Structure 1
Amino acid sequence: MKLSTKGRYGTRVLLDLALYQGKTPVSLKDIAQRQEIPLAYLKRLIGPLITGGLMRSVRGVGGGVLLAKPPAEITLAEIIELLEGNAALVECINNPEVCERSEWCAARDIWSELDRAANGILKSTTLQDLVDRQRKKEQSAKVMYYI
């Protein structure tokens, strides 16, 4: 499974919101600057996140975006499926008819196992898990800096 820029950037955008949103919306400009994502690309990226129910938009002065639900209720699988679609590692996993060897191919068995393992990690990892990891990394970086 190779993630496109949409999946990687979308995950970073939602992580940024989980880290920085309070009671008020976060501006797209701030997210774009912190995450080093072009603002024009970010604007195209948030549409599916809003329609998919992971993010909501607030218009007007002081507007921006917010998470639509708590980070602990958003899995990486939801984010990736929303932005990338249901893409298997190789096409023959979900569509065995694309290859006449599918039924007796040992390599396909391995690709299927790998795909299940990757999807298991994505389904069991929440945005809150990423927040916790990020904060731990930031703490470690601060400690190392001062030593």
Structure 2
Amino acid sequence: MKISTKGRYGLTIMMELAAKFGEGPTSLKSIAERNQLSEHYLEQLVAPLRNAGLVKSIRGAYGGYILSKDPEGITSGDIIRILEGPISPVDFTEEDDPAKRQLWLRIRDSIAEVLDSTTLADLIAFEDEGKPDSYMFYI
């Protein structure tokens, strides 16, 4: 399974909203500018996320989008499934060799376990770890 730009940019939108959680709405324009992405494309991606109840839109001059739940309550698996569909490394049928079928099922289950155990809060923490000023030590 290869994650397309839909899944990758969808995660970007959701991580941006998670980073601003509790601070009010964030515009897609600001997300697009910060990540050098097409605002029009992000609008297409946020619609299914909104329809699935992961984000809420706020109208008005200072409007934008907010997460509908706490970042700990949304997994990367939720986002990928909404934007990409079911998680499966290959399309297989009942006629496939049982040994190969078991391999594909194990791979699918491993991918799903990682995606379903990684929340937006985790992704924000991972992102912060990579920043040079994320830890401050005083002696």
TM-score normalised per structure 2? 0.89
Q: Can you list the C-alpha shifts for 1:1-52, whole angstroms capped at 9, x where unaligned?
A: 2111111100111001111344321111100011221111011111001111
Question: For residue 109 of structure 1, what is the aligned residue in structure 2?
Answer: 102
- Aligned residue pairs total 134
Aligned-pair RMSD on alpha carbons? Answer: 1.5
Q: Contact between 1:13 and 1:35, CA under 8 Å: does it hold in 2?
A: no
Q: Contact between 1:25 and 1:64, CA under 8 Å: does it hold in 2?
A: yes
Give the letter for the 1:62 counterpart: Y
- Residue identity over aligned pairs, in percent, reads 40
Structure 1: how far apart are the matches of 2:98 and 2:10? 35
Structure 2 unaligned regions, length at least 5: 135-139
Question: For residue 16 of structure 1, what is the aligned residue in structure 2?
Answer: 16
Question: For residue 68 of structure 1, what is the aligned residue in structure 2?
Answer: 68
Runs of 4+ in 1 over 2 A off after TM superposition: 20-23, 104-108
Question: For residue 132 of structure 1, what is the aligned residue in structure 2?
Answer: 125
Pick the structure with more helix per residue. 1
Question: For residue 57 of structure 1, what is the aligned residue in structure 2?
Answer: 57
Question: For residue 81 of structure 1, what is the aligned residue in structure 2?
Answer: 81
Give the secondary structure class of the aligned counterpart of 2:46.
helix
Describe how 1:88-99 pairs up with structure 2 within 5 A: 88-92=88-92, 96-97=93-94
Question: For residue 39 of structure 1, what is the aligned residue in structure 2?
Answer: 39
